[in-house]
Amino acid sequence: MKGAQHFRQRLVLSTLSNTALRIDDIRADSEAPGLCDFEASLLRLVEKISNGCGIEINETGTKLRYKPGILAGGRNLVHDCGTGRGIGYFLEPLIILGLFGKKPLSITLRGITNDSRDPCVDTFRTATLPMLKHFGVPIEGLELKVVARGAPPLGGGEVVLKVPIVPKSLTAATWVDEGMVKRIRGVSYSTRVSPHMANRMVDAARGVLNRLLPDVYIFTDHYTGSESGKSPGYGISLVAETTTGCILSSECVAMHSGASELQLPEDLGTQAAMSLLQEIRLGGVVDSTHQGLLFILCALCPEDVSKVRVGKLSSYGIKMLQHIKEFLGVQFSIKPDPATGTVLLTCVGSGFQNLYRKVS
Amino acid sequence: MADEEAAHKQHRASRAGASAAGSKLKKKKNDRGPSTKQSNPKAFTFRSAVRAKRQQAVSAERQQRKLHVPILDRATGEPPPFVIVVQGPPQVGKSLLVQCLVKHYTKHSLSNISGPITIIAGKHRRLQFIECANDLNAMIDAAKFADLVLLLIDGSYGFEMETFEFLNLLQVHGFPKVMGVLTHLDKFKDVKALRKTKKQLKSRFWTEIYDGAKLFYLSGLIHGKYSKREIHNLARFISVAKFRPLQWRTTHPYMIADRFEDVTAPEDVDANPKCDRNVTIYGYLRGTNLKKTMKVHIAGVGDCSMSAVTLLPDPCPLPSAAKKRGLREKEKLLYAPMADVGDMLYDKDAVYINISDHQLQFSKNCENAEKTQGKDGDVGETMVKSLQQSKYSIDEKLQQSFIQFFKSSAIQSASDSEADESDESGPEKDDAMATVSEDGRLRRRVMFPNEADEEGAAEGPEDVNNGDSSEDDITGEGNGDEERIVHGEGEGEEEGGEVEGEEGEEEQENEENEDVEMGNALQWKQGLMSRVGASKSNVNLMQVVYGHVEASSKDKDFQEDISDSDEELFKPKRQASKDTVAANAQNIDLEDCSRLTLEVDDWHNQEVIEAIRDRFVTGDWNKASQRQKGEVEEDGTVYGDFEDLETGEQHGAAENHEAAERRLKKLALRAAFDAKYDGSLDEENKEVEGPKEKDYFDKLKEDMELQKQRNAAELQDIDAATRIEMEGFSVGTYLRVEFRGMPYELVHHFDARHPILVGGISKSEESAGFMQVRLKKHRWHKKVLKNRDPLVVSAGWRRYQTLPVYSLEDRNGRHRMLKYTPEHMHCIASFWGPLAPPNTGIVTFQNLSNSQPLFRITGTGVVLEWDQSVQIVKKLKLVGYPYKIYKKTAFIRDMFTSELEVARFEGASVRTVSGIRGQIKKAVKAGSGKEGSVRCTFEDKILMSDIVFLRTWTKVDIPRFFSPVTTLLQSRDTVWKGMKTVAELRSEQNVSVPVNKNSLYRPTERQPRRFNPLQIPKALQAALPFKSKPKLSAKRKKPVLESARAVVLEPNERKVVSLVQQLTTIQNDKAKKRKLEQRKKKEAYTAQKAKEEEESKKRRREEIRERHRSQAVPGRPLNKKPRRNV
């Protein structure tokens, strides 16, 4: 394989399918060649939760050889994610790997909690974790706690993730009914800025959403002192819950527009609300961000048919489908549903089981 | 009638004897019932609440014990033939039993039994008989694939070791159904002895399997066969047997090779006979679905990847589902390619009919007779004859033949007339090509399709080249009813075999429903339009994702047609294929980000908002539900990329979700109901107890059934090629698997009597790692197992030799190494090897040879865990000596060798031999003492003579070694040689066991300890009271008076004394003589005894030697059979 693209997918699928991985030409042509620090950090994290894995990187970092070990899990682990990418970058693979470990995983991650590139921890807590219960993951041990908020560029946030192990395997899901949006919830946070910012974002978002639904409630979450990280920042994360238990999410984080100033909170609120409406319009049981996770969960099911509906296939999702076929040998049957403009995906699971668990 | 009734004799009950007594007793019991209790027993069932409660508890307990975790059997469609393994010690009549059973089912006498024999036993049941060879390796494999075991036991001899070994193997690898068969019962002359033996054997058999296990008695031979009646009974039981799904097999695909071919290019073999071979293996797929990318393990060879898998038509298909009782004679098929019966051989692209040479004689000379016979002759016979009459070869005919493209155009050709000719004679096969193979045997190649028979329209031997699919499909579709194209079965890589078959069928249907298919060109296009509309977008999405997707050939052809014929009709709005190319050319270092930035519409616009109004609970619920059904007409607004062409009919496919769910539930319930009323006994019992409310178990089963139905419903409307891509080849299909680069020994040493087992392994089982196994030495194995002695392990499909390290888990979770396995306890064995998932059964052997008289299974166990590292520790004692002692501090040397080592153990507790406890403090500074000296403190002052020791644990390395047992790569009568045990090596090299002298126990020699006399200072002495003062008196020098004086006897006294002395002397002398005599006697006796003992020992040794010689020699005379009695 070549290039740094979709590094996490490859790493996760290689680990799960227990196939060795070799990536060449990682940013070979770029002025900063080789693996980035966040990728190295991810490799270190994978090494931390697995036993007997082998990682070989050449001098320039443009070649990687990875031999997966067994997933051990473990308690009270700590990992510093750095400031290259948000914690969401690490949470996405971790949540899948954690499910199939020898022991339940509980890990403290430090870094940037909210980032514009990766799903923020609030979205994870409110949208991603509930998604797993459709696939028979025991919901009790599944938890994500935000201890401290860390905004870019310096981070300083801290979250605690707890993932239970699946006892044997996931259960196949037929999850095609999108339902109707019954309520919209959200979190608007602010750290090291005036607490008023959060309220301004909420007002703006409500202004858009209330035209469609009265049941909109957005929490404000202000951090001060030691919990507030090292940089100022604010943002908003919205989730729409439907009558059938589907959860669609959208989020917006303040970025430095131009030279120094952060974006206006009103703009953020509106933008988040609009992208949420866009997600709702596209349809599907999950939003575009979670497509990859949805597909991989389907593919990891026992040899039963899973059927899911998504809006528009994202490029990340498409790449995930390709990687799933490559590593797990699972091919999806993809049918567009022209009436709703959605896509129906059907697959027979790979029969994946948690084989690392100890039996007594 | 009346006469008949009168003729019947009345039954006269016996009035005396045992039966009368028995019946009396019974009668009494019956009488007592109502008399002691009430006249209405139903009204007063319980009179004691305690007793009622107890009874209830007992019955509830019994019911719960019956429950097992249900295993979901995902297989749909026809199951593969059930494997019936016939196993038993040598010379017990296994082959004869198989012969008799095959004869019973198919009226076919087999001469030799080699390889699996597939037969059709009933309308819904196929059986595959496999005889298990008398070899431990074959037994291990057979235990892994047997669905039903016929366990043959020599009744005249009793149980033999093989039987119990095989039973143990079965138990470990999932216990399939077992039926016992007692043979050689005609050797009993005495009826009483026979009855007694039967009883004994049955009770032993029952303890081994379960009470009530079926045991058949084959009383003897009639004309060299078992009695027909008894075989009939056995067959009845086989045909109603239910097979339980086994955990390992429902999760792993496997195949038993019923055909094995070497397909290496002959010139390669000629050039180098030892070159790597390409082989194909044919067999039914069992267990679960097989994916093309899967790795497989060939038992006795190793892991290998399949280079090609092809679906073949079933060589032994079940009869059609017409309503009739029983099987017709014609349907009683037999398929045993390895046993050289059954004349048909199915290959990837052809079918062969074997005709043995002696059957070839009749063809020419009775030609005239046949003509007079007319149509009465056998159909096959006439066909063969007509073929023999044909003058031209296939190539010549091909040159002459024409292809007719359209129905209307009438082309006469030579081939047509010929076809008509053959039509009259009613051939079964469409075309046949006779070739004489190198060995002179006539092999006749039949071009497929075999479905075309009913039509009776045989065609000329045009063999259209199937390579270019577009052309031949056009012809296929354009065909009328006179001509048909002959397809090879599954000829191209790009076209799955059965897709082609389907098409063949479709062509037949053409005649009936012309309007649906292509009657004329216009209709053809119209029909196409709608179909393409539906399929195109689907294919496109699949293409976007998976690149060149293996769509069904139909779709592809349509697309080709589209591009060919009229492009203006089908103008795809979205160019799909460009995306894939573009995607590949994209930046390979794309940022890894799961978030998609959406282009956001203007949501302040009221119209835009209204578009999704109905997606909210505040919107119109009716419209929303309609949207779910897919009935809303939303052209352009929702998804601009779709064609307008599609209207309601395609969308109808997206069925109402809830209705579908309801339908599925109904199906599941029906299936569950069917399963329940399948005549099983315990279910009936349940029914007697009355309707129960649904408990957890029922719910679990219902959920499983629901999932199964859902799977079936989802997969049924997906075309076959995609389906294979999605779920793999389904269970029950007949497959041809090709392997490349196999070692030549596999072909060279191939023996059909040892079936080849090909088992699929999942991704995570491919690699090797450390396994922890809960192991117990087998009760019947005489010795305990030694740590790190090589052991052959059979786990999953695999057999391999490895070096286990035994351990026990302490209460604090520490795994402590053991030198030997415990005698009667489980222990944990950890070893390196190819991984088998947890809960897999394991059985171990030390030696696989067949010439050992002892029980060969050394232990059984179950896999607990995998890991890449194992923590097993053993005790370590570090010893040191004090070289300097202060009050409670001492400096110890020789315990460690460096300061670094000391640093590791700072704070560790130490102890002296005398029991004084202490602690390690710090290393002595370099230079001041010996390197590695350490300062310790103790609870008391220690002595210089004390030895200080530190007790700790050290990690034990597990050897990373395993070697697969490759018995298929050597001739079957050689014993597989693996790593030798230490004991074997020592005896071979004549090396004695090394003894560390210091470890031996010696008699303790203690120097008597001398203490210095007690010195009491003078001043103290003076101060002491007299009692405590040392009494120091000087020794007397002169003797006392009494001892100094002489004694003088009286003369009388002297006489007495001398007399007494004389008498005593005489007596002593006598006693001495007697003693000497006795000793002499005893010596003679012991000498005699020793001699006798020596002789008897010699005799016994001879006997043992004789016995062993008769049992162990492999090339023994046939009439003498070795017995390994239990």
Distance from CA of B291 to the nearest CA of A (A): 8
Out of B159-163, B342-346, B502-506, which region has the weakest mean confidence (pLDDT)? B502-506
* Of B632, B597, B629, B599, residue with least CA distance to B613: B632
Residue type, B970: Q
What pLDDT is stored for residue B1044 in this prediction? 78
Pinpoint the alpha helices (H) of B717-856.
Answer: 720-727, 744-748
Assess whether pLDDT exceeds 60 at residue B947: yes
DSSP characters over B683-713 = HHHHHHT------HHHHHHHHHHHHHHHHHH
Mean predicted confidence (pLDDT) in B908-927: 92
Is the CB of residue B835 less than 8 Å from the CB of residue B866? yes
Report whether the peptide linkage leading into residue A130 is cis, meaning its omega lies within 30 degrees of zero: no
Q: What is the pLDDT of residues B272-284, one digit of tens each?
A: 999 999 999 999 9
Burial class (CB in 10 A: 0-12, 13-18, 19+), B605: exposed
Q: Residue B413's pLDDT band (boundaries 50, 70, 90)?
A: very low
- Options 3.30.70.260, 3.30.360.10, 3.30.360.20, 3.40.50.2000; CATH for A181-282 is 3.30.360.20
Tokens 């514009």 locate to A116
Beta-strand runs (E) in B960-1102? 962-964
Beta-strand runs (E) in B419-542? 431-436, 442-447
Q: What is the pLDDT of residues B803-856, one digit of tens each?
A: 999 999 999 999 999 999 999 999 999 999 999 999 999 999 998 988 888 899
What pLDDT is stored for residue B394 in this prediction? 62
Per the CB < 8 Å rule, is B868 touching A182? Answer: no
What pLDDT is stored for residue A126 in this prediction? 93
Assess whether pLDDT exceeds 80 at residue B530: no
Higher pLDDT, B629 or A113: A113
Out of A48-57, B480-489, B604-613, which region has the weakest mean confidence (pLDDT)? B480-489
Assess whether pLDDT exceeds 90 at residue B1045: no
Which whole-number Å values give the CA distances from A75 to A12, A93, A160, A164, B831, in the listed order?
Answer: 20, 17, 11, 11, 27
Contacts with B293 from chain A: Cβ below 8 Å: 329
DSSP characters over B379-433 = HHHHHHHHHHH--S-HHHHHHH-----SSS-----HHHHHHHHHHHH--SSSEEE
Q: What is the pLDDT of residues A261-283, one digit of tens each?
A: 778 899 899 999 999 999 998 88
> What is d(CA B803, CA B421) in angstroms, rounded to the nearest whole number?
72
The partner residue sitting opposite A338, judged by closest CB among B612, B613, B651, is B651
Q: What is the DSSP letter of A263?
A: P
The four Cα atoms B993, B999, B1005, B1006 give a dihedral, to 10 degrees, of 180
Burial class (CB in 10 A: 0-12, 13-18, 19+), A225: exposed
Contacts with A27 from chain B: Cβ below 8 Å: 589
The partner residue sitting opposite A322, judged by closest CB among B546, B594, B864, is B546
Find the distance separating the first CA and the last CA of chain B, reported in whole Å: 59
Per the CB < 8 Å rule, is A176 touching B657? Answer: yes
> What is d(CA B407, CA B527) in angstroms, rounded to the nearest whole number?
19
Which whole-number Å values give the CA distances from B48 to A43, B45, B567, in the listed order?
Answer: 70, 9, 90
Q: Residue B150's pLDDT band (boundaries 50, 70, 90)?
A: very high
> Best residue in B305, B589, B661 to probe A by mutation, most A CBs within 10 Å?
B589
Residues of chain A with pLDDT under 70: 256-260
Q: Residue B538's pLDDT band (boundaries 50, 70, 90)?
A: low
Contacts with A275 from chain B: Cβ below 8 Å: 598, 600
Backbone angles phi, psi at A67, to 5 degrees: -115, 115
Q: What is the DSSP letter of B953?
A: E
Chain mean position to CA B369: 57
Per the CB < 8 Å rule, is A89 touching B727? Answer: no
Extract the tokens encoding A180.
């109707």
Long-range contacts from A22-30, C-beta under 8 angstroms, 24+ separation:
A22/A63, A22/A64, A22/A65, A22/A66, A23/A63, A23/A64, A23/A66, A24/A62, A24/A63, A25/A62, A25/A63, A25/B588, A26/A61, A26/A62, A26/A63, A26/A64, A26/B589, A27/A3, A27/A62, A27/B589, A28/A62, A29/B589, A30/B589
Higher pLDDT, B946 or B111: B946
> What is d(CA A123, CA B813) in angstroms, rounded to the nearest whole number?
40
Q: What is the pLDDT of residues B56-92, one digit of tens each?
A: 999 999 988 888 888 887 888 889 999 999 999 988 9
Instruction: Reduce the DSSP state of residue A259 to 3 states and report it.
Output: coil
Phi-psi region of B1085 (alpha: psi -120 to 50; beta: other; left: phi over 0): alpha
Out of B290-299, B1012-1021, B1042-1051, B1093-1102, which region has the weakest mean confidence (pLDDT)? B1042-1051
Nearest chain A alpha carbon to B724: A331
Report whether the peptide linkage leading into residue A93 is cis, meaning its omega lies within 30 degrees of zero: no
Contacts with B627 from chain A: Cβ below 8 Å: 339-340
The partner residue sitting opposite B868, judged by closest CB among A51, A181, A351, is A51
Is the CB of residue B906 less than 8 Å from the CB of residue B950? no
What pLDDT is stored for residue B692 in this prediction? 57
Quick one: chain A helix, strand, coil %, rounded to 5?
30, 30, 40
> What is d(CA B145, CA B116) in angstroms, rounded to the nearest whole number?
12
* Of A171, A297, A131, A328, residue with least CA distance to B711: A171
What pLDDT is stored for residue B27 in this prediction? 62
Q: What is the pLDDT of residues B161-193, one digit of tens each?
A: 999 999 999 999 999 999 999 999 998 989 999
Contacts with B546 from chain A: Cβ below 8 Å: 321-322, 325, 331
Extract the tokens encoding A127.
């949208």
Assess whether pLDDT exceeds 90 at residue B889: yes
What pLDDT is stored for residue B175 in this prediction? 92
Assess whether pLDDT exceeds 50 at residue B442: no
Extract the tokens encoding B809.
């888990």
Beta-strand runs (E) in B835-906? 841-845, 857-867, 873-885, 889-893
Distance from CA of B587 to the nearest CA of A (A): 8
Tokens 């509980």 locate to A106
Per the CB < 8 Å rule, is B710 touching A330? Answer: no
Which whole-number Å values give the CA distances from B932 to B118, B897, B910, in the listed order?
Answer: 75, 4, 16
Backbone angles phi, psi at B895, to 5 degrees: -85, -40
Average pLDDT across chain B, whole number: 77
The four Cα atoms A35, A38, A43, A44 give a dihedral, to 10 degrees, of 120
Distance from CA of A229 to the nearest CA of B (A): 24
ipTM of the modeled complex: 0.92
> What is d(CA A311, CA A176) in angstroms, rounded to the nearest whole number?
11
What pLDDT is stored for residue B462 in this prediction? 38
What pLDDT is stored for residue B640 in this prediction? 36
B757-761 vs B254-256, strand pairing mode: antiparallel
Which whole-number Å values give the CA distances from B1044 to B56, B1038, B1053, in the listed order?
Answer: 104, 9, 22
Contacts with B634 from chain A: Cβ below 8 Å: 339-341
Which whole-number Å values give the CA distances from B264 to B338, B493, B895, in the listed order?
Answer: 19, 19, 66
Contacts with B545 from chain A: Cβ below 8 Å: 313, 318, 321-322, 332, 334
Nearest chain B alpha carbon to A338: B642
> What is d(CA B842, CA B773) in angstroms, rounded to the nearest whole number?
8
Q: How many CB atoms lie within 10 A of CB B468?
A: 10
DSSP characters over B981-1017 = PHHHHHHHHT-PPP--GGGS------PPPP-PPP---
Chain mean position to CA B143: 7
Higher pLDDT, B856 or B380: B856
Contacts with A64 from chain B: Cβ below 8 Å: none
Give the number of beta-carbon pairs within 8 Å between A and B.
237
The four Cα atoms B429, B435, B440, B443 give a dihedral, to 10 degrees, of -30
Is the CB of residue B872 less than 8 Å from the CB of residue B956? yes
What pLDDT is stored for residue B391 in this prediction? 61
> What is d(CA B730, CA B724) in angstroms, rounded to the nearest whole number?
8
DSSP characters over B170-205 = HHHT---EEEEEEE-GGG---HHHHHHHHHHHHHHH
Q: Residue B415's pLDDT band (boundaries 50, 70, 90)?
A: very low
Helices (H) and strands (E) in chain A, counts: 9, 17
Higher pLDDT, B428 or A316: A316
